[in-house]
Amino acid sequence: MTLPSHRNPSSPAGGDPRRGVLDAALVDRVTDAVLFAGLPVAFGDQGPGVRIRPAEGVDAADRCEGLAALDWLPSRRLADAAAMEDPQHAAGSARQVVGVSMVNALAEFLPAFGLDVSRDRSGRELRVGGAADSGLRVPPDVLVRRPAGATPAELGLDAELVDAVRRSAALAGLPVAGHLGAAGVTLGPWPTGEDGTGGDGGADIGWNPSRRLSDLADSGSPAAGLAAVARTSVHAAMLHALGTILGACGTELRWFHARNRLRALGESTPAIRH
């Protein structure tokens, strides 16, 4: 399922000799895992999405050859807004929160796809390696028949609330599911009685991975068990990340930790507008 346009990101010309050339098989495996999770892959330095690049050695003794390093690039709008502001202002702070939160999410769920994940000695760079013969493989005929799911409008969710979540997700560079069966940030009705409001005035926030991962997890394939573990890992990691990312980008949120549920309440103030 690898997209050819995302293969073999260009290595830096000249520059630091500690930066190497990425192994094409490793790039393909990381790309597949990211796309399985329902996330975009950035090409070169153009976001949004996961940027795959050669790991950078901390010093001459840091043997990182053959390892890939991952970053998250937000939308161009957020990147440009952050570049125009003091780092402590809203856009600069949001860009930092988005980048850190998404890299942390990648570190949480990529091991479920058979990838080896580590940090450099500084704890900043997320590095990925792994054997080329491990990881999920999706047979071409895996398809589970299922309804598309309701749209936010069909669920009766407040249009302004939905727009607020979509704006925040777009700033971060995250896809929003058009219906409950699609990949990306999902919006559903808040369960009645969970916070004493009778279930109105908010949206239940979740995350769907790619349809291919869900279909494999729900199929009779020998790999279904591994896919189900990966799907659970992706959902947990992304829900945790959304709790900080959407808030930093302009959505008012409330966590219900005992139930592991995230509720969106509307646009926060001040919102980032550029």
- How many CB atoms sit inside 10 A of residue 73's CB? 23
Tens of pLDDT, residues 224-253: 999 999 999 999 999 999 999 999 999 999
Question: Using alpha carbons only, what angle is made at residue 128 by residues 138 and 51, rounded to the nearest 5 degrees?
Answer: 85
- How many CB atoms sit inside 10 A of residue 44's CB? 11
Task: Note the pLDDT of residue 44.
Answer: 74
> Does residue 27 surpass a pLDDT of 70?
yes
Task: Note the pLDDT of residue 47.
Answer: 83
Can the peptide bond before residue 48 be classed as cis, meaning omega within 30 degrees of 0? yes
* For the chain, percent of residues with pLDDT exceeding 70: 79
Tens of pLDDT, residues 137-151: 777 777 777 888 899
* For the chain, percent of residues with pLDDT exceeding 90: 53
Q: Which tokens sit at 270?
A: 């001040």
Task: Note the pLDDT of residue 273.
Answer: 61
pTM here is 0.86
Residue 63: C-alpha distances to residues 110, 127, 131, 154, 200 (Å): 22, 12, 18, 54, 55
